[in-house]
Amino acid sequence: MTAVITPPAAKPQTPAKRAGRRSGIAPPWLFAAPALVVYALVMLYPSIVGAGSAFTDWSGVGEQRSFVGLANFQQLIHDDQALGAIRNTLLLTAAIVVVQTGLGLLLALGVHTTIKSRMILRVIFFAPMVVSPVMVAFLWKYVYNPAPDAGLNAALNAVGLGALRQDWLGNPSIAIWSVAFTVIWQCAGYSMVIFLAGLEGVPQELHESAMVDGAGTAARFRHITWPLLAPALTINVMLSTVGGLTLFTQIIAMTNGGPGYATDTLSTVLYKQAFVFGKFGYSTAVALVLALFVAAVSFIQLAYLRSRETAA
Amino acid sequence: MASEIIRTPFSRRRLLQLMGGAAAAGALASCGGGNSSGGSSGPLKVIGAGSQEAGLRKALDEYKKQNGSFEFNLSFSPADQLQTALRAQLAAGNAPDLHAVYPGNGSAMSMVQLSKANLLADLSEQAWTQKIPAGFKGAYQQDGKTHIFSPGTSVLGAIYNKKAFAKAGVEIPTTWSELLTVCETLKKKGIIPLALGAQTPWVTQLINYALVPGTVYAKQPDFDDKMAAGSETFAGSGWADAMNKYLELQKRGFFNDNPNGTTYEQATSMVGTGKAAMAVQVSAVLQAYRAAAPSPDDLGMFPLPATDVAADNWIPGGIVVGLGVSAKSKKADEARKFLEFCGQPEQINAWAEAVACVPLYSEGEAKVDPVLKPFLPYLADDKAVPFMDQRWPNAEVQPTHFAVVQELLGGKTTVEGALKKMDDAYKKTA
A172 burial via Cβ count (<10 Å: 0-12, 13-18, 19+)? buried
Q: Where are the beta strands (DSSP E) in B121-175?
A: 141-142, 145-146, 152-161
Does residue B202 sit within a domain?
A: yes
Q: Residue ranges per domain, chain A?
A: 94-263
- Closest-CA residue of chain A to B8: A201
Asked whether the beta carbons of residue B117 and residue A59 sit closer than 8 angstroms, the reply is yes
pLDDT of residue B12: 42
CATH number for the domain including B59? 3.40.190.10
Looking at the complex, report in whole angstroms how far the Cα of residue A61 sits from the nearest Cα belonging to chain B.
5
Residue A232 to residues A191, B7, B15: CA-CA distances in angstroms?
9, 10, 11
The parent domain of residue B243 ranges over 155-317+385-427
Do the chains contact at A278 and B409, CB–CB below 8 Å? no
Each residue's pLDDT tens digit, B55-84: 999 999 999 999 988 899 998 887 767 777
Q: Tell me the CA distances in angstroms from B264 to A271, B141, B203, B260, B289, one per residue in order.
A: 23, 31, 7, 10, 10
Side chain identity, residue B81: Q
C-alpha–C-alpha distance, residues A91 and B342, integer Å: 52
Q: Check residue B428 and give its pLDDT.
A: 85
Q: Which of B3, B118, B410 has the CB atom closest to A172's CB atom?
A: B410
User: Which residue in A has a C-alpha nearest to residue B404's C-alpha?
Assistant: A260
What DSSP letter does each residue of B252-263 carry, written as one string? Answer: TT-BPS-GGG--
Using the beta-carbon criterion (under 8 Å), do B3 and A231 form an inter-chain contact? yes
A276 touches chain B (CB under 8 A): yes
Rounded CA separation B218/B213 (Å): 6
Nearest CB to B27; choose among A42, A278, A312: A42
**Any residues with CB less than 8 A from the CB of A26 and at least 6 apart, and which?**
A20
C-alpha separations of A7 from A4, A11, A12, A146, B243 in Å: 10, 12, 15, 87, 97
Q: B145 by DSSP, 3-state: which?
A: strand
The answer to whether the Cβ–Cβ distance between B6 and A202 falls below 8 Å is yes
Angle between helices B53-66 and B332-342 (to 10 degrees): 110
Which residues share a beta bridge with B278? Answer: B160, B194
Length of chain A: 312
Contact A188, A181 (CB under 8 A): no
Ramachandran assignment for A214, one of left (phi > 0), alpha (psi -120 to 50 degrees), beta (any other): left
Nearest one of A264, A251, A254 to A141, comparing CA atoms: A254
Contact, A230 vs B3, CB < 8 A?
yes
Is residue B368 a part of any domain in this protein? no
pLDDT at B279: 97
Helix (H) or strand (E) holding B49: strand B44-49
A56 pairs with which residues across the strands? A67
Q: Tell me, what's the pLDDT at B311?
A: 83
Interface probe with B: pick from A200, A220, A276, most Cβ of B within 10 Å: A276
**Number of folded domains that form chain B:** 2
**Residue B167 and residue B108 in one domain:** no
The answer to whether the Cβ–Cβ distance between B6 and A62 falls below 8 Å is no
Query: Does residue B162 belong to any structural domain of this protein?
Result: yes
Residue B288 shares a structural domain with residue B190: yes
Q: Does B397 touch chain A (CB under 8 A)?
A: no
Are residues B106 and B216 part of one domain? no
Cβ of B29 under 8 Å from any chain A Cβ? no
Residue B375 per-residue DSSP state: G
On whether both B238 and B342 belong to a single domain, the answer is no
Q: Is residue B146 part of a domain?
A: yes
CB contact under 8 A, A255 and B406: no
How confident is residue B355, by pLDDT bands cut at 50, 70 and 90?
confident
Which of B385, B381, B379, B387 minimizes the C-alpha distance to B362? B379
Report the DSSP pairing between strands B299-302 and B72-77. Answer: unpaired
CA distances from A74 to A55, A122, A176, B122 (A): 11, 49, 27, 38
Query: Does A38 contact B24 at a Cβ distance shorter than 8 Å?
Result: yes
For residue A259, is the peptide bond before it cis, meaning its omega torsion is within 30 degrees of 0?
Answer: yes
Q: What was the pLDDT predicted at B353?
A: 87
Answer yes or no: do B208 and B332 share one domain.
no
A165 and chain B in contact, CB less than 8 A: no
Q: What is the pLDDT averaged over residues B117-137?
A: 90
DSSP A42: I
- What is the average pLDDT score of chain B? 87
Q: Are residues B218 and B161 in the same domain?
A: yes
Q: Among all residues of chain A, which has the CA nearest to that of B85?
A: A275
Taking one residue from A and the other from B, the number of pairs with CB-CB distance under 8 angstroms is: 157
Residue type at B212 in one-letter notation:
V
A28 vs B: CB within 8 A: no
Low-confidence ranges of chain A (pLDDT < 50): 1-3
d(CA A232, CA A305): 10
Kindly state whether residues B192 and B104 are assigned to the same domain: no
How far apart CA A62 and CA B116 sit, in angstroms, is 8
Cα–Cα distance, A142 to A128 (Å, whole number): 16
Query: Within this chain, do residues B130 and B231 fall inside the same structural domain, yes or no?
Result: no
Q: Smallest Cβ distance to B91: which of A61, A255, A272?
A: A61
CA torsion sign for B145, B147, B151, B157 is: negative
CB-CB under 8 Å, B201 with A256: yes
For A64, B375, B414, the CA distances from B326, given in Å and listed in that order, are 17, 34, 42
B412 min Cα distance to partner chain A (Å): 8
Cβ within 8 Å, pair A61-B119: yes
Distance CA A232, CA B257 (A): 45
Phi and psi dihedrals of A229, rounded to 5?
Answer: -90, 5
Q: What are the beta bridge partners of residue B146?
A: B141
- Is residue B37 included in any domain, yes or no? no
Q: Does B22 touch chain A (CB under 8 A)?
A: no
Mutation site for A-interface testing, chosen from B7, B114, B394, B406 by largest number of A Cβ within 10 Å: B406
The pLDDT value given to residue A148 = 87
Q: How far apart are CA B370 and CA B345, in angstroms?
A: 19
- Of the candidates A62, A146, A201, the beta carbon closest to that of B257 is on A146
Find the helix or strand (DSSP H, E) in which B281 lies: strand B276-282
Q: Indicate the fold that domain A94-263 takes in CATH.
A: MetI-like fold (1.10.3720)
Model pLDDT, residue B28:
34
Residue numbers in A near B78 (CB within 8 A)? none
Residues B216 and B169 occupy one common structural domain: yes
pLDDT (mean) for B399-428? 95
What are the chain B neighbours of A147 within 8 Å (beta carbons)? 257-258, 266
Q: Give per-residue burial for A232-247: e unless 16+ CB within 10 Å, then b.
A: bbbbbbbbbbbbbbbb
Supply φ then ψ for residue A170, to 5 degrees. -95, -15
Q: Distances in Å between the alpha carbon of B171 and those of B186, B304, B376, B388? A: 11, 13, 20, 29
How far is residue B278 CA from its own chain's centroid?
19
Q: Are A269 and B403 in contact (CB under 8 A)?
A: no
Q: Rounded to a whole number, what is the distance in Å from the CA of A6 to chain B's nearest CA? A: 44
Q: Give, as one character, the DSSP assignment of residue B105.
A: S
Q: Measured between CB atoms, does A6 come within 8 Å of chain B?
A: no
Interface of A with B in 83-102 (CB under 8 A): none
Here the ipTM equals: 0.78
Alpha-carbon gap, residue B107 to B103, rounded angstroms: 9
Lowest mean pLDDT among A19-33, B95-109, B245-259: A19-33
Amino acid present at A68: V
Contact of A139 with chain B, judged by CB distance below 8 Å, is answered with no
DSSP B295: S
Quote the distance between the C-alpha of residue B357 and its chain's center: 13
Residue count of chain B, please give it: 430
Query: Taking CB atoms and an 8 Å cutoff, what residues of chain A touch B403?
Result: 257-258, 260-261
Q: What was the pLDDT predicted at B156?
A: 94
- B281 and B172 within one domain: yes
**CA-CA distance, B391 to B394, in Å (whole number)?**
9
* B170 in the same domain as B141: no
The b-or-e profile of B392-405 (16+ CB within 10 A means b, else e) is: bbbbbbbbbbbbbb
How many whole angstroms separate alpha carbon A175 and alpha carbon B401? 20
- Burial (CB count <10 Å: 0-12, 13-18, 19+), residue A212: exposed
Hey, is the C-beta of A282 within 8 angstroms of any chain B C-beta? no
Taking the Cβ of residue B4 and every Cβ of chain A, the question of whether any pair is shorter than 8 Å is answered with no
Give residue B183's pLDDT band: very low, low, confident or very high (50, 70, 90). Answer: very high
In terms of domains, do B233 and B309 share one?
yes
Cβ of B5 within 8 Å of Cβ of A201? The answer is: yes
Question: What is the percentage of chain B residues whose pLDDT exceeds 70?
Answer: 89
